[in-house]
């Protein structure tokens, strides 16, 4: 109980800090959040890399265990909201093990199987800063027979140097943006690489307001998830980081404001599972 | 041999503070994972730590009331290959404990550096007792002349269970036995088990032995001091008794 209260108070003070930071434009703070810890701005990326190096192998198993399989429903909903049509090119950033991309391709395949199988074009580019995650994804794509339709690239969401502007119809980032050091840079890059008329879609953990759900959720995430991480993946600290990084992320409205500030229009969001997860959407006009 | 106790400082990264709910889930979980994936030695370690809370205070008391044991508690020696200086031990005379230990490590292809640190015990004294138990495991193997195969490990676990009363040792000893092949099971029940039970009861508790100070001693002398017999010895003693009885009956 005491631990939850302490975490709650830390969260409240950090919300204030974060609101100020979120509303400022283009300033790189000296420090960055690594969960509840503060680290030097430059160090955050390295620390995040380390986390995902450790978790890559067991990533999918842990997702199922931690969310009791719900992450599959969230991702399905995400793709449903996108409503892909043939010819729409996707860039899936922080796409790691490929969950979003595979769903996107499956959607297109079900829509028009003949067209899908006959087409030789690259449909999706998966970009991730961590090569281990990409390798897991690559292996999975071969099992699914999607390997010819996907480009796998190592890259930094804050600086997609390999991508030209105005290239993609859809930009997705699912459960990735909270690991980035500077959200604005990510959003600006997203804006840059999208074609006019293109859509930015983000699936991410967010804030729950329902007090009953919140208590259960807080207990579960702070107390149990690191334990599960240790039991399943042999790694306590990475999952401790995970639950803390969720609390440090801006609220639904704050994030929507930020997306707007970076040039997107018709910005909206939708809550899933009592706000534990939210889908944010914006267009480049 | 003294090392700073910062290894058990709560601020070092290996210690994890846990509450009752977490410990309950961890105990059940680590127990299950240990059974189904025995390669996860972090799980075995965790299970051992989480089930030891009643026994460790008793062990600490036992160590404190023994002169050598209390010296160990005071100096808190840590066992790593660099601290022990294995290359130096390898030059010791044949039949010394130090030399035998290095040979044992080489023969079984192990090092003293792979022991997992204690992560879930908050009290630093008790955490050290747990750590010491883990670290002298190889010495125990060596002094009892038991290999690191399944049979040897089960036998050592039974020895540790009787001497230390740790639940983890009892469980590992009992379940480990089920995994022995038929030939080893036979040998275990006929020879190893009675011998190790006798030895565990009669010898000085090895947790109180400051092994690192005895490296120069001939290993047989050390065994005698600790009141330990080897399997072969007790076998040949048993054989002598049998012979004697046989000749007596014949006459």
pLDDT grade, residue B39 (50/70/90)? confident
How far is residue B179 from each of residues B40, B48, B156, B175, B190, measured CA to CA in Å? 17, 20, 15, 7, 16
Confidence bin at A79 (pLDDT 50/70/90): very high
- Higher-confidence residue of B92 and B244: namely B92
Closest Cα in chain A to B31: A231
Beta carbons of B21 and A3 less than 8 Å apart: no
Give the distance from residue A249's alpha carbon to the nearest chain B alpha carbon, in angstroms.
25
Torsion of CA A248, A253, A254, A260, to 10 degrees: 140
Q: State the distance between the two ends of chain B, measured CA to CA, in whole angstroms.
A: 59
Q: What is the pLDDT of residue B236?
A: 61
Query: Residue A240: closest CA among chain B residues belongs to which residue?
Result: B16
Residues in chain B: 251
Per-residue pLDDT of A173-182, as tens digits, reads: 999 998 898 9
Q: Is A171 helix (H, G, I), strand (E, B) or coil?
A: strand
User: How many Å from the N-terminal Cα to the C-terminal Cα in chain A?
Assistant: 48
Judge: A234–B42 Cβ closer than 8 Å, yes or no.
yes
> Chain A contact for B21, CB < 8 A?
yes
Whether B42 contacts chain A with CB within 8 A: yes
pLDDT in tens, B103-134: 999 998 888 888 889 999 999 999 999 999 99
Cβ contact (<8 Å) for A230 and B19? no
Tell me the backbone φ, ψ of residue A159, rounded to 5 degrees: -155, 85
Tell me, yes or no, if B46 comes closer than 8 A to chain A by beta carbon.
Answer: yes
Helix runs in chain A, H state only: 2-23, 41-55, 59-67, 70-82, 99-111, 113-118, 131-144, 183-193, 211-218, 225-228, 236-248, 252-261
Question: Over the range A96-130, which residues count as b (16 or more CB within 10 Å of their CB) and which as e?
Answer: bbbbbbbbbbbbbbeeeeeebeeeeeebbbbbbbb
The whole-angstrom separation of Cα A128 and Cα B62 is 56
In this prediction, residue B72 has a pLDDT band, given cuts at 50, 70 and 90, of: very high
CATH number at residue A261: 3.40.50.150
Distance from CA of B80 to the nearest CA of A (A): 23
Contact present, A124 and A91 (Cβ < 8 Å):
yes
Q: Is B34 in the A-facing interface, judged by CB distances under 8 Å?
A: no
Q: What is the pLDDT of residue A22?
A: 38
Lowest-confidence pick of A173-187, A247-261, B6-20, B127-141:
B6-20
Output the CA–CA distances (angstroms, integers) from residue A264 to A68, A88, A268, A285, B18, in the order listed.
Answer: 34, 19, 10, 7, 44
The H or E element spanning position B24 is: helix B20-36
Q: Supply the DSSP symbol for B12.
A: S
| Domain-wise residue ranges, chain B | 20-250
Residue A58, domain extent: 2-283
Q: Do B22 and A227 touch (CB under 8 A)?
A: yes
B245 appears as a binding residue in the annotation: no
Alpha-carbon distance B24 to A9, whole Å? Answer: 26
- DSSP category for residue A203: E
Give the tens place of pLDDT for each residue, A9-31.
444 444 444 433 433 333 345 67
Q: What is the mean pLDDT of residues A105-111?
A: 94
3-state helix, strand, coil in chain A (%, to 5): 55, 20, 25
Average pLDDT for B191-204: 93
- The domain total for chain A is 1
State how far the Cα of A126 lies from the Cα of A20, in Å rounded to an integer: 32
């Amino acid at each position: 109980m005491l631990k939850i209260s302490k975490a709650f108070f830390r969260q409240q003070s950090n919300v204030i800090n974060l609101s100020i930071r979120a509303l400022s434009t283009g300033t790189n703070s000296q420090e960055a959040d690594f969960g509840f810890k503060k680290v030097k701005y430059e160090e955050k990326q390295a620390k995040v890399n380390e986390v995902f190096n450790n978790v890559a192998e067991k990533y999918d198993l842990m997702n199922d265990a931690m969310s009791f399989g719900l992450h599959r429903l969230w991702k399905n909903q995400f793709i449903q909201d996108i409503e892909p049509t043939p010819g729409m090119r996707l860039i899936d950033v922080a796409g790691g093990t490929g969950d979003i991309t595979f769903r996107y391709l499956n959607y297109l395949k079900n829509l028009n199987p003949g067209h899908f199988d006959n087409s030789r074009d690259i449909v999706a580019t998966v970009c991730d800063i961590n090569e281990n995650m990409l390798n897991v994804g690559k292996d999975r794509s071969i099992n699914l027979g999607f390997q010819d339709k996907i480009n796998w690239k190592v890259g930094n969401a804050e600086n997609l140097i390999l991508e030209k502007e105005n290239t993609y119809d859809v930009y997705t980032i699912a459960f990735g943006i909270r690991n980035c050091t500077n959200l604005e840079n990510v959003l600006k890059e997203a804006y840059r690489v999208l074609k006019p008329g293109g859509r930015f879609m983000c699936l991410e953990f967010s804030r729950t307001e329902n007090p009953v759900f919140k208590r259960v959720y807080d207990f579960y995430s702070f107390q149990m998830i690191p334990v599960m991480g240790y039991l399943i993946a042999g790694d306590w600290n990475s999952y401790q980081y995970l639950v803390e990084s969720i609390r440090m992320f801006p609220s639904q409205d704050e994030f929507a404001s930020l997306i707007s500030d970076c040039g997107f229009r018709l910005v909206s969001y939708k809550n899933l599972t009592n706000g534990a997860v939210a889908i944010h959407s914006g267009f480049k006009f | 041999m003294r090392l700073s106790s910062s290894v058990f400082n709560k601020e070092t990264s290996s210690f994890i503070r846990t509450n009752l709910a977490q410990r309950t889930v961890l105990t059940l979980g680590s127990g299950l994972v240990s059974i189904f994936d025995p390669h996860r030695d972090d799980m075995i370690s965790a299970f051992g730590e989480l089930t030891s809370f009643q026994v460790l205070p008793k062990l600490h008391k036992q160590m404190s009331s023994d002169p050598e044991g209390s010296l160990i508690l005071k100096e808190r020696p840590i066992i790593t290959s660099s601290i022990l200086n294995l290359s130096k031990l390898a030059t010791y005379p044949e039949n010394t404990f130090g030399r035998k230990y290095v040979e044992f490590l080489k023969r079984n292809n192990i090092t003293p550096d792979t022991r997992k640190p204690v992560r879930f015990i908050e009290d630093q004294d008790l955490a050290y007792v747990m750590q010491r138990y883990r670290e002298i495991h190889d010495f125990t193997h060596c002094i009892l002349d038991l290999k690191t195969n399944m049979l040897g490990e089960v036998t050592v676990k039974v020895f540790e269970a009787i001497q230390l009363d740790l639940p983890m040792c009892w469980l590992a000893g009992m379940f480990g036995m089920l995994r022995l092949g038929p030939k080893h099971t036979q040998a275990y029940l006929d020879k190893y088990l009675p011998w190790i039970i006798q030895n565990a009861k009669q010898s000085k508790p090895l947790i109180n032995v400051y092994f690192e100070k005895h490296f120069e001693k001939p290993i047989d002398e050390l065994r005698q001091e600790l009141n330990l017999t080897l399997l072969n010895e007790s076998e040949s003693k048993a054989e002598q008794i049998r012979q004697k009885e046989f000749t007596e009956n014949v006459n």
